[in-house]
Structure 1
Amino acid sequence: MQVIVARAISMLALGIGSFIAGMLPTCFSERTRQSHPLIISCLLCFGGGVLLSTSLVHMLPETREKLPEYSELMLCIGFFTVYLVDELSHLFVKRNNHSHEVPGVGERSSLLAREREDGEMRERHDGGSELCHVSHTEPCNRSASGVIGLLSALFVHSVLEGLAIGLQENVTQILLLFAAVASHKFVVGFCLGAELCENFPSRMCTHVICVTLFSMGSVVGIGVGAGLETVSQLKDSAAVPVMQGLAAGTLLYVTVSEVLPRERARWHERRRDAGLMQFISVGLGFVLMYLTTKYLDHDAD
């Protein structure tokens, strides 16, 4: 097999496979989401564990290899950058832009059901003196900055991984690196699709556009790495670890400030065992991505 054929196979497989993985969550109908909301929440928590592991176990060590003195600083800068963008979006976006939005039929029914459950739980806990460590109010989801930050971080990471594949000159190394990238890229793509379904439940066009951008990241990276010889100099420059570190901080913010707090607040008072099920889901996602990164990526290296 020629090198150009191996690169082409990697481009097609990563692009199509990532798109399919990102679109899989849309197969869950609105009725299914309303009938089994805790299962959907556990899937989102599983995605949070995957993103957390991707940030701290996969991307941060890669940053530390080439930028040992400033890797944690780059992660923190990425974290605070998305934090700032999130707060600025809430500051400058007028409230009346959201007050006139009319939810769809499925959204209205789910909102009414949620309000009834919340009302029952408030009545049940009124007058109590129990001190709880979990906020029962969901984080504000009126801003799309979290999803945009998540998509941007995953796109940058996908481009860099594709760039590494495109720079390889040996068929065996290309295929090994492709297998390592695909093993976690498809899982991350599914998690991205689940988050898009949660934030944009009735916007299929938005979902398709975001998943397409994510899927094209590796394709663009492979194409650029294979087409330009001067890109090989970029591989050893400080730009790559800086972008990796910033992307890692972005994923960390989205996970610990949006995904996990939202799901914990949504279910903490509804079922006593919901928190434990969510914790197990986060742990499974983290362990799966950790094992994938440790063994498959190590073999590729």
Structure 2
Amino acid sequence: MLDTLASGFVIGAAYASLGLCITLLSRMGGVVNFAQTAIGLFGSYTFLVLSDSSTPLWLAAMIGVIISGLVGAFSGLIMARWFNNSDIGTRSSVAIALMIGFLSIGTRLFGDSPRQAPALFEQLSLTLGNVNLDGGLVASLLLSVLLAASLDRFINKTHIGIRLQAFAAKPTTAELIGIPSKKLTILIWSIAGGMSALAMLIIITSSARNANYASLSLLIIPALCAALIGAFHNFYWTLIGGLAFGMLEALILSNALVAAYAQTIYLPVILIILLWTKRKDKWDGQRA
């Protein structure tokens, strides 16, 4: 049972990290980024290609994170150049178009055959009592918790973070008061791209070593669910949501009778959350 929960924490923390990237862009860029995993996959598959060519793993991982950061910056450039003053619906639609384009290009570049990934975090393994904590678990938890705490503090407690929120709310007004909104858009997308690559690296080097490109791209669904738990605003609730989804998925996968339906849990979760968040509007309408 403890081993099952531990494996759930690995994938759940990675879901949380991806969800935190989505939440970051939602708060700072005014967009629901459906392309988040597609951007991260460029870096993680670059890592796989380089590791196959005997490149040191740490260097391959660093290059992979940089590649996704550049892809993220390119996406941010598109948003800043042509959609800076668009509403969130338009920008999110552009993100869907970017997702489709990046997945098409990525599948063409890297193929869709399952790839074996090397173990990246073996040195971080710990033993607590009778439970052996995999290095991927340690790295995944550290990344997600540090991301949540750092992003929350940066956005809510620093002068730059407050300025970024002003930019997200009113890009044109932000430009008028001297906030370089276009440069900040590119920077935010680049940071989110690099972080998503690191999260995807943890996934492919831990619990999903034989997954292919297309199936890994579907991790956007639990990542969006985690961000939805946090209402695309609260980093800590996004973290909790990602961890909860990972453990729930691990528990379902451990039961042979329902393991085939593990990926179906997200639809009812989304519906329940949406109904719950809209309950006040419905009740107010009925009272009126």
Is TM-score (shorter-chain normalized) higher than 0.5?
no
TM-score bracket, normalised by the shorter chain, equals 0.3 to 0.5
Larger Rg, first or second structure (1 or 2): 1
Normalised to the residue count of structure 1, the TM-score between the two structures is: 0.32
- Greater relative CO (CA pairs within 8 A, separation 6+): 1
